[in-house]
Every structure is written in structure tokens, then in C-alpha cells.
Structure 1
């Protein structure tokens, strides 16, 4: 059993260590999580859109996620944990265990890998020495070969003792859930539980003789007589027990020269030397305190329980006395308890690996995306447009435009010749500047000729540049206004052609997107504005800003196709 002093000491140390861990988390959250400067581009834990964190085996899922074809990002590549530990090793058996400073110690190393946000697997090796010393005298050791060859079970009293050396290899499944947090980005302390399978190779010795080969029978008798008033009934108070054991230590040396009783069928003379090998089950609880991305300390207690027979001899004793001289075999089996404090390190570069997933909050992606959408598929905003001219009321400088009237980018009716009379009211659509000002019907003050109402010149068709969003080819409201102006000019100049030039030739995707945009403009002009498709010259894949389409009037006698097959149909939007 672990001394209460050490439990209190460990709790006190944990409380002190937690303070800087929580302080560090608080300051980080203030600097990154709450300021918004960092969360604009990434989550608190890592950038879930950064493919540097995704192994090749999971890139297919990540690609679908980035293309909004799958709602979940891939599990990131995460670090391995390695650690060392040291602490108190006890055998829970028939002989009371000694404490750490009396020689009951253990040390260990482990490697741990996360398989998810809750579960991880761990390979753990422990080496230790455990000691025990009985404060009660015994005479029923007639069947115990370690004692009955040196002492007389009928008259000599002995105080059982042992020293056990053991190697323990464990394979554990570890579960940790407190990283899933709803009101904090990260945790500075992790509680976990584990269970697994253990293989133990051990050998036990007892101290029955001094350095000269003589038994301790006389010294044992003297100690017994010294405490005869309380040992007669085997009832010794705690303070008296310590005195008895202190006198026993002073009376004996530290040789442990005699092999303890063992079951020969479990001896493994090969790689384990003469040690006994048995399979055990393990379970335990632990606490980890995060110091940084790579370092943390751990406090853990492991209980190892036997799975089969031959496991009541870890302390070299399997006999219990009912009356002196008549021993019976005990029904209990020996168990191990290892209470340890360790230091752990996470292996891996931060630029390619996140911390082990049991430190990561799986809600980070969802909460960050809700707070600052960066990948979320949001519907187009719906803005009020009372007159239905395609310009939102907030931007419309001419509210109440009659239905079906072409407007400019400000929502005002088109005035092609700039005479102050809107096209839908203008009886002389193109009035030369020298004939202005005009009357209320838009007719100029120059002498009229048969062509004055239909004056045509392709130079009146202004050049334009239409911008598209990244990877988009839809005609937005701003582009619709520009195309309405173009339509008015083309209707006023029915013999003129227009060249639509799509930029972007840096890649197959750019070339196809250039084609998509030119085709979208010509289709819009044909379907929405009634301009014959044959009046357009189709050009794409030109040098220039890949998100821009240029429009100009065709030169005299300039010809070109009105339809062009798509260069890469499989990449069409």
C-alpha cells in the first residue's frame, strides 16, 4: 500500500505544476483564440485546411473536403510520445512491503501513439526491485524450502522477508476524454485510464543467513522476546511495528542469498535466465500536465493482477498459519502496484505534426468554422431590390425604375448618347454631341436627315472589363449592369460586332475557366438581352488577369467564330 505521505506529496506537486500550464493556456487563448487575428486563418490547434498535416494515405479524403464534397477534414498527422518514469514498486502479498527509501523502487520507459482523440496504444517496459519485511514472527514454514532447511519449524521463529527483481512488459489501451471541451479551446491537464496485458519475468530471494552463513535464529528470538508482550497475540500497533522492523533491519545484513520458493514449471531458463515468467492483466489511472507542445509530466498508478496460477510467490511466501506448525496454502495471489512520476516528450516537427490527439480538442474545427467561416458553403445573400432592376436598394441611385428598363451600375436608366433623356424615352437614341441640347423627347436641334435617328458607328461601343470571382463563371449583378450598357450600344448599332476575350492561359484549369466565362457572357447577352449570338467573336485563353474578360468593338472587317469547343470539357463548371 502506498504511504499516505507520498499521496499528499504527489497531489501537492500536481497542484503546483498545473498553475503554469493553465496560465500558459489562458494567455495563448487571449492572444490567438479571442483576438481574432489568428482564428481568421486557422483553428486554435492547427490549420485544418493545411495539407502539410495530412499524410498521403488520407489525402483523398482531404481533397474531397477542400472541394466541399465531404464535410469532415482528414485526421492530421500527430506526434509520438516517449517517456521515462520512476517511483514506488510494491508487491501486494503475504509479506508487508517496504517503502521506496528501503529499496522498493521501479523505473520505466514507454512509447505511446494516438489512434484517435479518445484512444491510444502504449508499449511500456518497467524494471524494478521490491522488498518486504514481516513484523510478525512465524513458525509455520514447514513446507517452505527457503526457510525449513536453515530453521526448525518446531522451535525457531522467523520473520519473513524478500527481495524481488522483475522485468515487466506491458501493452496498454489508453483512454482519455477530457480533451473534448465545449467551453475552452485546449486543456492543460489530461486524466486517463488504461488496461492491458503484461508479461512479467521475476526472481525472488530471501535473507535467511548472515555473511558467515549463520542463521538469524538467535537474533530473531531476542527480538521476539523483546516484544513478547504484544507479539503473543500478533497484535502490534503501527508505531510498534516500525520499531520491530527497524530492529530486524539492524540485526540482518542485506545479502538476500537464498532462493525463495518457486514453481519450477513457470521457470524460463532461456532469455529470462532463471526467472519465472507469468502473464498478468494491468489497469490504472494517470494524470498528465502539459508544459509545452513537446513536454509534459505524468503521475500514474498501475495495478498488475495475475491471470493464472503460480502467481502467489512474488514475495516468496504462499503459506498462512492457522495454528503454529499447521500451515495452509493461501487462496490469494500476489499483485503489483507501481506508483510513478514521469517526464514525457512528443516526437515530431510542429510544421508537419500536431500534438498527440489526446491533447487536441476535436471540436476546434467546428467551433472555429462557425465563428469565422472560411470553408463553409454559405448561400448568396438576398438583398432587397424593390424595382427589380438588379441593383440592391442600398446601392440604387434611381429607385422606382420601370420594369424591363435597362439600367447602369447605379440603377439609373441607360442614356446611351448622354443627352439626359433615358433610352426608353429617347426618340433619337443616338444624338450627336453637336446637336445637343435636346428636347423632352431626346431629339437634337440639328437639321434632320433620314439617318439621324439611327446614326450608327461601331466606335460608339465602349470597351469594357468584366471581373469574376476566383474560379467562378456566373454573371453577377455588377456584370449584368455592364452588359446592359453593352446591349444598348449593340442594339443602337445593329451592324457592329463585339469581340469577347477571356484571359487565363497558365494552366488547363485557367484555360477552361476562361472559355466558361466568355461562353457565359455571350449566352447571357443572347438569352437575356436578345442580342444575336452571331454578332460576337469568341476568344479565350489570352494572356492577362485570369479572372478578367475584356470586351471591345470589332474592327472593320474583323471576323471570328461565335462558338468554340471547350478545351478541357472534363473541367467545365
Structure 2
């Protein structure tokens, strides 16, 4: 039983603490109760949420992300690639907490140099014909490609939905999308005199690095001719009819590190696949080898927008943060009123009730014990004489006492109207001498009686302690003075109607009795 009581008490304290003590705690990433970040077209849903007519808040306005990127760009194809460079700009917008859409431009320059002899393949003209004629039909291919790429990619964030922390500091993502690529692919197939290269002085049995060095020393590096190609070309670039236009598929992955709510730095690997074998100017045997672009880049991303009207991009906000915050520190939830057992219905719960079976309607104190205002041993709900003076006690079973004649008036015949007056006693707790609210109610009834009987005087008796000890006499005297002061100053009773006396005894009361 005791354990249940403590459990119920803990539950009540917990609910009270959650609803008051933590009411000011707000989630760090996004406060669903903040309507200032909700667009006008979604305010109806937001208002329904705030009024508990919907379980879901409206999606907030969030910032756009502007990105600048640059890094290593290479073509993976038949011809071994040399490190190239790419760079560009992007604009990204969140579709939700997981998916976002990014438009991007990338410009790049790629180069490649082979190290072994290969047969020529003629397609839309053969720029290697002169070189092949000098080397028994073989060439050592090279290329330079200048590329312009427009992409539209969907990014899926993988690490912003967190169960054990509030805001993500790192955002892993994958991407897929579509690109259109314009590629200007040229080859260095003729020397400075416009003639084909003669490889007779090249030692093709040497190491690859040595072979490439010999070839670089041989070439003039002017890339004066269009590379072989298949499909359409348009007249853009240094030479007429040399621009390849290709559709492509993008895939990739990346990670971004939050520096602040306005700035993050990322690293990304993106692969673009145009499904074309001529991106490096050499198709390979039968053209079966499809080339693709590899772009390893560093990204500097800036969040754009007014922070007072927009939250961070949603892929930087943990959507569980608000839900967990609300569970821990409720600000919006409707909390039920704690229901604690009270068997006797006296307003004091059972775990605090010292008298758990008081009759219905019986007045009780803060501990659930039936009140006994005059301290005569009969509870108020049974007492037919609610306030019985101390000198009229003991009382009968109905709480009615029999009052003796006062000491001062024994043997005297009092006026019938005054002698029959029954005046209550005033109780003081501990060493108190101040008239409190409970005493004021009793003295107010005394004042009413005295006003109705203006010829009656009052004997005010205090109890000075055993054998009239000094401290007790002082305490008793001050209590008597407090009672007389209240009746005279607050209730307007003439001070000349009061007779003071102190008698031995340990009682904490001041007794009032007719003195006529």
C-alpha cells in the first residue's frame, strides 16, 4: 500500500513539474509553436494545430542553400586520365527533412595521355590519319576536353533523423539526377609543322612514366584537331562542329559539416555517365567502353534567407527534436488533471488522510481529521454547541457544556440577560499572541453578542502557567491584551466593559465570560 502511495505522489509531482518548471524550455532547431516561420498558405493548418484540432504542425519556411564548389575532375575511359580541375555554383532547396533538390553548373578541363600504341578508329573523320601513316597504322592517343555541365539532382539526407541527440552536426547524403553535358574534345595529332608524329624515337619498353615523358617532349600540346566522335555536334568552341551534346545520369554521395547555422563545408564525390565512348577521344575496340566523369570536390555552402522568418534548411533539422522536447517538457500537450484516490471524499487524498473515514460533508483540517473548533472532544459535525468556553467543559455527548458562576460573581445575582450569555474561548498555538483569522471569526461573534447586550461586561481570563511562573504570566497577559485590543479597535466595543484576570493553568486559551 505504501509503495502505491509513493508512486501516486511521484506521478503527481512529475506532472506538476513538467507543466510548470520546464515550461520555458524550447527545442533548439525548430519550434513548432512559432507561427512567424509559417507561410500564409499554411497558416490554417498551423492554427488548427495550435488549437488542438490537428496533430501536425505546418511545414515552416526554410532557407535556400547557395554553394560554391571546386576540385579534382577526371574522365574515366580508355585513355589514362591526368588530373583535371572542375568548379561551379549550385542552388539547393529542401523538399522536406530528407529530400532536397539541387540545380548546379560545373565547368571543367580534363586531359589524358596514353603510354602504348593503339590502332586508329575512323569516325566522322580521322584526325590521327597522318600520325598513323608514319607508325604502321598505330597511334598513342591523347586528349583535352573542355566541359560545361548543367545538373538537376535529388539529394537524400541520411543522418538528420536522430534518436539520441538534438541537432545534426554532420549530414551524410546520396544523390541521383540528370545532367546535360556540352563537351569540346580535342586531340594533339599533328606537330608544329602540321605533320603527323613519328614515334620511332620512343622506347615503349621503358616505364610508363618515362614513356609519357618522352611523348610530352615530342608533342607541341596545341590540340589543334577535333577528336573522333559519334552523334551530334554543334558549332560552339574553338573549332567548328566540335561540341558534343550528351544527356547523362548523375549518382554520388557526400558529407557536410555544420560550421554555423549559416555555413557548412562539404566533400562530395559525383559520377556523371553520358553513356558515350568518345569523351576521351578514343572509343576503344568496337566502342563498347563507355566513359564517365568523376568529380571529387570541396563545397562551401551558405544558407540564404531572413532568420526571423525562416528556419535552417530542413535537412539540417532533426524532425524528432520537437516531439522529444514535447514529451520531456510539455508546452502544447493537454495534460490530464491528476486523479488521486480520496475514499471519504473530504478533499484530502488517502496518502495524506489521517482519518480516512470521516462522514460525508464533515469539516476536516489539512490532515483529513474532523475539526473540533472548541477543543471539547466532540467533533464539529456532532457538536450541538459549536463553541463551548473552557470553563463550561467537560461537555456531554452532544458537545453541550454547563457553565459555573465566575469566581468574581459567586453569590451575586446577575441580571438574567447577562448571566445567560455563553461566550467562547480563543485558542492560541505555541507562544503566539497574535489574533489570527480563526480567532477573528470567533471574536466577531463575541462582538455581535456584546453589541446586542450593551449592559453586559466581559471577564477576560488568561492562563499564566503552573504556579503563575513569570514567563507564563507575561505570555498570558499579552494574549488577553490582544483579545481586548481586537474587540475594542476592530469591533468597536468599549474597553471599559472588559475585566482582565490571569489564573494558573497550562491552557493555551483566553476565556470570555459575562462579568455582571
Aligned counterpart in structure 2 of residue 354 of structure 1, from 311, 318, 332:
311
1:178-193 to 2 correspondence within 5 Å? Answer: 178-193=159-174
The aligned residue for residue 69 of structure 1 is 53
**For residues 412 and 136 of structure 1, do their structure 2 counterparts lie closer, same or farther at Cα, with a shift above 3 Å needed?**
same
Aligned to 1:115: 95
In the alignment of these two chains, the number of paired residues is 386
Gaps of 5+ in 1: 1-35, 231-235, 321-328, 454-484, 486-573
Q: Indicate if the aligned counterparts of 1:426 and 1:442 stay in contact, CA closer than 8 A.
A: yes
**In 1, Cα distance between the equivalents of 2:113 and 2:311?**
49
Distance (Å, rounded) in 2 between the aligned partners of 1:143 and 1:75: 55
C-alpha spacing 1:438/1:277, structure 2 compared with 1 (3 Å) = farther
Counterparts in 2 of 1:89 and 1:142: CA distance versus 1, 3 Å: same
**Conservation of the 8 A alpha-carbon contact between 1:305 and 1:334:** yes
Quote the residue 1:524 is aligned against.
none
Describe the superposition over 1:506-543 as per-residue Cα deviations: whole angstroms up to 9, x where unpaired. xxxxxxxxxxxxxxxxxxxxxxxxxxxxxxxxxxxxxx
Deviations 1:84-122 (A, max 9, x none): 1111111122221111xxxx1110211111112211111
Could you tell which deviates more after superposition, 73-82 or 411-420?
Answer: 411-420
1:245-294 C-alpha deviation (Å, 9 max, x unpaired): 12222222332111222346343669x99522111111111111222222
- Aligned with 1:370 (options 298, 318, 327): 327
Residues 448, 222 of structure 1: CA spacing in aligned structure 2 closer, same or farther, 3 A cutoff?
A: farther
Deviates more, 1:277-286 or 1:47-56: 47-56
Find out whether 1:255 has 2:235 as its counterpart: no
1:95-494 equivalences under 5 Å are 95-99=79-83, 104-141=84-121, 145-153=125-133, 155=135, 157-210=138-191, 212-218=192-198, 220-223=199-202, 226-227=203-204, 230=205, 240-263=207-230, 265-267=232-234, 274=241, 275-306=243-274, 311-320=276-285, 329-393=286-350, 400-407=357-364, 411=368, 424-427=381-384, 441=398
> For residues 240 and 122 of structure 2, what CA distance do their matches in structure 1 show?
28
CA distance in 2, matches of 1:166, 1:136: 26
Determine the C-alpha separation between the residues in 1 that align with 2:235 and 2:354.
Answer: 95
Q: Distance in 2 between matches of 1:250 and 1:296?
A: 44
SS of the residue corresponding to residue 283 of structure 1 reads strand
Return the offset for 1:152: 4.5
Question: In 2 relative to 1, CA 184–135 (structure 1 residues): closer, same or farther, beyond 3 Å?
Answer: same
What secondary structure sits across from 1:59 in the alignment?
A: helix
Greater Rg by CA: 2
Q: Tell me how far 1:355 sits from its aligned partner.
A: 2.2
- Residue 36 of structure 2 is aligned with which of 35, 49, 52? 52
Q: 1:37 to 1:335 in 2, by over 3 A?
A: farther
Q: Give unmatched runs, 5+ long, in structure 2.
A: 1-19, 404-415, 423-440, 442-516
Conservation of the 8 A alpha-carbon contact between 1:141 and 1:147: no
Aligned-CA RMSD value: 3.8
Counterpart position of 1:498:
none
In the TM superposition, 1:534-553 aligns within 5 A as none
Q: Which residue of 2 aligns with 1:323?
A: none
TM-score if structure 1 supplies the norm length? Answer: 0.59
CA contact (8 A) 1:141 1:153 kept: no
TM alignment of 1:81-92, pairs within 5 A: 81-92=65-76
Please give the alpha-carbon distance, in whole angstroms, between the structure 2 residues aligned to 1:374 and 1:295. 31
Q: 1:384 to 1:280 in 2, by over 3 A?
A: same
Cα distance in 2, alignment partners of residues 45 and 436 from structure 1: 73
Query: How far did 1:73 drift?
Result: 2.7
